[in-house]
Amino acid sequence: MEITVRHNPAFSVARVQLGSGEECRAESGAMMAMSGGVEIESKAEGGFMKSLKRSVLSGESFFMTTYRAPDGGGFVDCAARLPGDITVFDASHGIALTKGAYLCSARAVEIDTSWGGFKNMWGGEGGFLVHATGQGPVAAACYGALDTIDLQDGETLVLDSGHLVGYTGTMTFTTRKVAKGLMNTFKSGEGLVMEFTGPGRIYAQTRNPDEFVSWLTAVLPFTRE
């Protein structure tokens, strides 16, 4: 199978091209269109407990959808909830994704949820991460445009936690306040940041979904039932 991205960077769509009888998996509700004859099966992938962990802990769907191409092949188009870019990477390199970033992947790719540590929870990502491992392509979505940042061994980068999409397994990071002292942090308008140390690759989004929700909450009119 092959995943190509169209209409990027603002309103990206991932097209999954499937050979005869080939399968792919996608986040529930991600399908935009598909060719005729493609079969669909939605189930709790990996069993009830694994699906519950993925849904409750990492913000992904309880059910995952499997698409199977008919003889002659077919395609499935997948789109994210928020406008933005989509990146495709090889799962054999191993990557950790923040909540809501996973979009679709090859059937052989293992999607699991694990504890990322309190440092990740205080960074605003909920503590739990989605890990993609195995063989085949994986598509991840972001809000806004996507930045890919490669760090050499010992090189560091400070990233606002709300702009993180994912990072390779070789990366280490710590979470801290953006400025020294509570007052400086308050006056800067920033919260917690993640300081990564290479070697590895970071995927960042140019827009922060949580900031967008906070802004909408502030400007939308107050309603009473």
CATH numbers and ranges of domains, the chain: 2-209 (3.60.160.10)
CB-based contacts of 124: which residues, under 8 Å, 6+ apart?
161, 162, 191, 192, 210
What's residue 140's pLDDT? 95
- DSSP secondary structure code for residue 125 in this structure: I
DSSP 189-221: T--EEEEEESSEEEEEESS-HHHHHHHHHHHSP
Q: Three-state SS for 153? A: coil
- Average pLDDT for runs of 10 along the chain of length 225: 93 97 92 96 60 46 82 97 93 87 92 57 52 92 94 94 88 75 44 87 93 86 59
What number of other Cβ atoms are within 10 A of residue 48's Cβ? 9
The model carries a pTM of 0.78
Under DSSP, the state recorded for 183 is H
Phi-psi label, residue 47: left if phi above 0, alpha if psi -120 to 50, beta otherwise: left
Query: For the chain, what's the residue count?
Result: 225
Given this model, what pLDDT does residue 33 score? 97
